[in-house]
Amino acid sequence: WAKPHEVVITADLSKTGPVINKDIYGQFAEHLGRGIYEGIWVGKDSPIPNTKGFRNDVLDALKAIHVPLVRWPGGCFADEYHWREGVGPQDKRPIKVNTHWGGVEENNAVGTHEFFDFVELLGADAYINGNLGSGTVQEMAEWMEYMTSDKNSTLANERRENGRDEPWDIAYFGIGNESWGCGGNMRPQYYVDLYRQYATFMKTPPGKMPKLVASGGHTEDTQWTDVLSANIDSNMDGISYHFYTLPTSEWKEKGSATEFDNNMWFKTLERTMRMDKYLEDNIAKLDKNDPEGKLGFYVDEWGTWYDAEEGKEPGFLYQQNTLRDAVVAAVNFNIFHDYAERVHMTNIAQMVNVLQAMVLTDGEDMLLTPTYYAYDLYQVFQDSTSIPFTIESDDYVVDGEKLPAVTASLAKGKDGKTYLALVNLDPTEEAKVTLDLSGKKVSKLTGRILTSDAITDKNTFKQKSVVAPKQFTAKANQVQLPAKSVVVVALN
Ligand code: AHR
């Protein structure tokens, strides 16, 4: 019998920190595997109930967690995407080969109009990623005009003929993706000049300009953030950054999504917690080059990446999702909240059927993953105002390596209530969390918990609710936090 971990959270609830931008809860939908086709799009003639071609079951699930923002069409796909191939009558659109992802046929059924239908149905904002790697300045400039112009120009009229009178709003527009890799294998110095050139020609009517996103670095690299923020002095609202959690550090053998032991659980959490240091290091570069804090730091791809499932096309990046993924998600939310001053937007990779997905589909069937429920619990943090706090937590130790046993978030929600999120990373020990709130007594904490019997528990098409939230309450400034759990409670 072991003693529970001791944790003390200290805060003055009358103090406020930065707003936790709702776009931190953004998602990513790439033309990859069964992410778009089957996952969200089945076409208007499908027997699967749909609205404008988008499956109703998935739409309803995503609406329930209030997805604020969707990034599209890639990813690596974005730098090979030519927008003209995805407008006009669907049966006349060219069939391409998706060279990045499985070499499958891409019939361009989902193009610009369909994507905006999708985000409108969801009530989400649009994050479009432009093609810098293999497209021209003219192509990108014309796409922007097509989407946003309110004039009587030929391009705007083509949009009208294709069924859309009003220009669309674009919240973010990315100029290239992973330009250090699949987006063109560039060096940051070269990308800087290309960015400056492309961004010059991004023109919209007044008030319609999206936030322009430069494609930055990944993992421990800070050079891209440094070189971009030092050399791009206008037409840039933020720099993107990618970090994927692999249980091992090996791309060839990343580890299984569903079969792992307590050691591998620890390793996965240790690797995902590196997000904290990587953000700190990159934001230090921004603070040096942009001391006024004008630039955002956008983690526009993150999440777990495991070995492809046996028997599945490896290029489709389909993986199952367990309680471990929910804990990974919640740990990252807590880190993003800590950096809310700069981190205004993130996109988990990806929304449906790809990598750390919210939803998995199988024909007409659908299930919600543990990660979905982590997003569900944390909804109350969208556009909340953070409350500064300190946390003293015992360590969770494996083979002499340490992680904090508990991480947390504290914020005032848009509904005026104070919310506390707690994650117990330790798969075997519970934690006793004491709240020291400048003398304020909390009579009751009410909310929900996500946990399960085994670390590998998952939802399957046969058993869809193995990992699902349950009601949770605690009393008087103290929470008994079960092992391997995520809790979000309102303080009353
Ligand atoms: O999310 C899958 C891929 O990961 C994206 O297409 C790419 O940007 C990244 O390498």
Task: Please identify, by atom number, the ligand 1 atom nearest to the C-alpha of residue 301.
Answer: 1
Handedness of CA 27, 28, 32, 36 (dihedral sign): positive
Q: Would you state the pLDDT for residue 364?
A: 97
Domain ranges of the chain: 5-11+388-491, 20-383
Q: Is pLDDT above 80 for 387?
A: yes
Q: Is pLDDT above 70 for 49?
A: yes
Does 5-11+388-491 carry CATH code 3.40.50.460? no
Q: Would you state the pLDDT for residue 29?
A: 98
Q: Which CATH number fits domain 20-383: 3.50.7.10, 3.40.50.970, 3.40.50.10800, 3.20.20.80?
A: 3.20.20.80
446 confidence band (pLDDT: 50, 70, 90)? very high
Q: Provide mean pLDDT across the span 294-322.
A: 95
Q: Is pLDDT above 80 for 375?
A: yes
- Closest residue by Cα to atom 6, ligand 1, is 75
**Three-state secondary structure call for residue 53:** coil
Q: Provide mean pLDDT across the span 376-398.
A: 98
ipTM field = 0.99
191-236, pLDDT tens digit by residue? 999 999 999 999 999 999 999 999 999 999 999 999 999 999 999 9
448-487, pLDDT tens digit by residue? 999 999 999 999 999 999 999 999 999 889 999 999 999 9
CA of 285 to the centre of ligand 1 (A): 24
Question: What residues act catalytically?
Answer: 178, 301
Q: How far apart are CA 4 and CA 145, in angstroms?
A: 59
27-45, pLDDT tens digit by residue? 999 999 999 999 999 999 9
**For a substitution probing ligand 1, which of 27, 28, 76 has the most ligand atoms within 8 Å of its CB?**
76
What is the DSSP secondary-structure string of 294-347? --EEEEEEEEE--PPPTTS-GGG-----BHHHHHHHHHHHHHHHHTTTT--EEE
333 confidence band (pLDDT: 50, 70, 90)? very high
Closest CA to 404 of 272, 255, 247: 272
Q: Would you state the pLDDT for residue 320?
A: 97
Residues with CB under 6 A from ligand 1: 30, 74-76, 177-178, 301, 349-350, 355
Task: Please identify, by atom number, the ligand 1 atom nearest to the C-alpha of residue 30.
Answer: 6
**For a substitution probing ligand 1, which of 178, 319, 347 has the most ligand atoms within 8 Å of its CB?**
178
- Closest residue by Cα to atom 4, ligand 1, is 75
Q: Is pLDDT above 90 for 1?
A: no
- Closest residue by Cα to atom 5, ligand 1, is 75
Instruction: Tell me what percent of the residues of the chain surpass a pLDDT of 70.
Output: 100
Q: Is pLDDT above 80 for 326?
A: yes
Neighbour order of strands in the sheet with 485-491? 19-20, 384-386, 406-412, 418-424, 485-491, 444-450, 470-475, 478-481, 431-436, 5-11, 389-393
Q: Would you state the pLDDT for residue 249?
A: 82
Closest CA to 275 of 246, 248, 314, 255: 246
Closest CA to 63 of 128, 127, 121: 121
Q: Provide mean pLDDT across the span 109-116.
A: 98
Q: Would you state the pLDDT for residue 212?
A: 98
Handedness of CA 437, 440, 444, 447 (dihedral sign): negative
391-415, pLDDT tens digit by residue? 999 999 999 999 999 999 999 999 9
- Closest residue by Cα to atom 9, ligand 1, is 75
Average model confidence (pLDDT) for the chain?
A: 97
CA of 146 to the centre of ligand 1 (A): 26
How far CA 418 is from CA of 337, 387, 393, 487, 492, in Å, comes to 15, 9, 21, 14, 8
Cβ contact 412:483 at 8 Å? no
Q: Provide mean pLDDT across the span 70-78.
A: 98
Q: Provide mean pLDDT across the span 239-245.
A: 98
Residues contacting 452, CB < 8 A, separation 6+: 323, 370, 466, 467, 484
Q: Is pLDDT above 90 for 3?
A: no
Task: Please identify, by atom number, the ligand 1 atom nearest to the C-alpha of residue 178.
Answer: 8
Q: Is pLDDT above 90 for 117?
A: yes
CA of 233 to the centre of ligand 1 (A): 27
CA of 78 to the centre of ligand 1 (A): 10
Q: How far apart are CA 162 and CA 289, in angstroms?
A: 44
The first and second tokens of residue 429, run together, are 């020990």
130 confidence band (pLDDT: 50, 70, 90)? very high
